[in-house]
Amino acid sequence: MRSVPASAAAVTTAPLLQVDGVSLEYRTARSVVRATHRVGFDVLPGDRFVLLGPSGCGKSTLLKAVAGFLTPRDGEIRLEGKPVHGPGPDRIVVFQEFDQLPPWKTVKQNVMFPLLASRTLGRREAAERALHYLDKVGLAAFADAYPHTLSGGMKQRVAIARALAMQPKILLMDEPFAALDALTRRRMQEELLALWEEVRFTLLFVTHSIEEAVVIGNRVLLLSPHPGRVRAELDTAGFGLAGLGSSRFQATVQRIHHLLFPDSPPPGQGGEGAEGRTLSPTDLRFAI
């Protein structure tokens, strides 16, 4: 994982990832589903860049395209200036599902596997690196355990260690904590931020939770409902979990809530809260 200085977000820094006017479609025999429409954004080295939007707005589809599993219908995705034409070890995805770890491999073997399969390292170096990252996620003591003996949160930490061990140029996370209970989810957010402080990787993180986006991201891209289009890009640097109760944090959450749900009361004022809501199909009319 390459290190980047804390001031990496300076405007002079060249983007690591460029998503340039990207439209993505699913084609079946009978229909074409447009998932995103001309979405554009740049991720700088060291960014914790969050894609936030309602279910079905194309967040996972965008992430799959950045990972190289889907080819844009229009536009281009570039990593360090070079067009993305398929999957590669420079982009690793962590998914929401707990079953992303083969159950017949121990925790350590799971983390070693991509390093060996991609011939990145030999067996001894792979074992060393696996233990290094397992230690970073607090699971060194569970190196020889099998996945079915771990909690959901621990399995996600293994998946994160496995991804970081590949030292990708960018780590892609698709709602990695969405299936966890609220307390575990909060702890995982805290740990991810602590890990970022230590390792300073570049992160592209997908969520439909406003609060999670503000906690995790230093920049948040707000996507409109299906098909996803860019609605706003917000600077959310300097919040983290410590800022959770602050008035600036609440103001930002409410501002995003208003951008998403212009006609409903903000969270805590009779509304049912920002999470889990679906947008009305009417186009949102607000200035970015």
* Residue 26 binds ligand ADP, judged by CB under 6 A: yes
Considering beta carbons, is residue 55 or 250 the nearer one to ligand ADP? Answer: 55
Spatial CA neighbour of 232 closest among 43, 48, 46, 41: 41
60 binds Mg ion per the rule CB under 5 A: yes
Binder of residue 61, out of Mg ion, ligand ADP, none (CB less than 5 to 8 A by kind): ligand ADP
Long-range pairs, 57-60, Cβ under 8 A, ≥24: 57/223, 57/224, 57/225, 57/226, 57/227, 57/228, 58/24, 58/223, 58/226, 58/227, 58/228, 59/174, 59/175, 59/206, 59/207, 59/208, 59/223, 59/228, 60/174, 60/175, 60/206
Q: What does the per-residue mask of binding to ligand ADP show for 219-258, with x meaning CB under 6 A?
A: -------x--------------------------------
Taking the least distance from each CB to ligand ADP, the nearer of 57 and 253 is: 57
Judged by beta carbon, residue 224 or residue 252, the one nearer ligand ADP is: 224
| 96 touches ligand ADP (CB under 6 A) | no
Per-residue x/- track, 178-217, ligand ADP (CB under 6 A): ----------------------------------------
Burial class (CB in 10 A: 0-12, 13-18, 19+), 83: exposed
CA 269 to chain centre: 29
Binding site for Mg ion (CB under 5 A): 60
Binding site for ligand ADP (CB under 6 A): 26, 33, 35, 53, 55-61, 226
